């Protein structure tokens, strides 16, 4: 990892300064190395901006007492900032309500859902209602795994898991979906029989 990048992360407050031993020297420990790995992963694989990564790391440094709160704050810090029309938000809210989900009515994920629905409408994806229902059912399964996997050993562990998991399992999920799509399309369109010709 380039030195300049480390300095940049120090400057941006992602990486805490070492304990200074003199005017031009500071001591860094194992914790700093782990922190750097976490930053690289959040910014690199997770695709977070450094601002979002800073917010995420601050949550890890100062864990909120309630894990439910942590998840909400993590979503706030991590998710892309999306603005949606009020009526689109209402649609998203009613969809969530139809699923029987309890979510904060000002959650940024609602705006993200609203924007995604609007986008699908704009290009006219056929059979969206059915698809959304099934996606919601699947999302519920995923969330059950995620939340069940949150360690209860200590608040710090829980926060770290929530932040890292929320960010890192997204690319994992998308990659798996793509691979599964390739398999499914192979089964459906290439089939067991060779393409005639």
Residue 64's binding partner among a copy of itself, DNA, none (Cβ under 5 to 8 angstroms by kind) is: none
Looking at residue 127, the DSSP 8-state letter turns out to be: T
C-beta of 4: minimal distance to DNA in Å?
3
Q: Which sign does the torsion angle of CA 114, 120, 122, 128 carry? A: negative
Using the rule CB under 7 A, is 82 a contact of DNA?
no
Torsion of CA 168, 48, 171, 108, to 10 degrees: 90
Cα 66 to Cα 69: distance, rounded to the nearest angstrom: 5
Q: Please give the residues from 107 up to 166 whose contact with a copy of itself meets the rule CB under 8 A.
A: 107, 109-110, 112-113, 115-120, 122-123, 125-127, 130-132, 134-136, 138-151, 160-161, 164-166
- Binding residue (CB under 7 A) for DNA from 44, 86, 100, 127: 44
Q: Please give the residues from 129 up to 188 whose contact with DNA meets the rule CB under 7 A.
A: none
Give CA angle at 166 (162, 168), nearest 5°.
115
Residue 98's binding partner among DNA, a copy of itself, none (Cβ under 5 to 8 angstroms by kind) is: none
| Residue 195: Cβ-neighbour burial (10 angstroms; 0-12, 13-18, 19+) | exposed
Residue 8's binding partner among DNA, a copy of itself, none (Cβ under 5 to 8 angstroms by kind) is: DNA
Q: Please give the residues from 8 up to 47 whose contact with a copy of itself meets the rule CB under 8 A.
A: 37-38, 40-41, 44-47
């Amino acid at each position: 990892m380039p030195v300049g990048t480390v300095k940049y992360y120090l400057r941006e407050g992602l990486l805490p300064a070492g304990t200074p031993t003199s005017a031009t020297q500071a001591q860094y420990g194992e914790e700093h190395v782990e922190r750097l790995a976490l930053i690289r992963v959040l910014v690199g694989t997770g695709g977070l901006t450094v601002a979002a990564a800073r917010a995420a790391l601050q949550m890890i440094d100062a864990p909120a007492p309630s894990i439910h709160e942590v998840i909400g704050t993590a979503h706030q810090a991590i998710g892309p900032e999306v603005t949606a029309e009020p009526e689109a938000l209402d649609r998203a809210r009613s969809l969530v309500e139809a699923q029987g989900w309890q979510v904060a009515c000002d959650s940024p994920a609602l705006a993200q859902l609203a924007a995604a629905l609007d986008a699908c409408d704009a290009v006219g994806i056929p059979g969206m209602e059915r698809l959304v229902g099934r996606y919601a059912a699947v999302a519920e399964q995923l969330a059950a795994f995620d939340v069940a996997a949150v360690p209860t050993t200590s608040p710090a562990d829980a926060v770290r898991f929530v932040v890292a998991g929320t960010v890192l399992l997204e690319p994992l999920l998308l990659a798996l979906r793509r691979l599964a799509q390739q398999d499914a399309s192979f089964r459906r369109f290439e089939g067991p029989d060779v393409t005639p010709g």
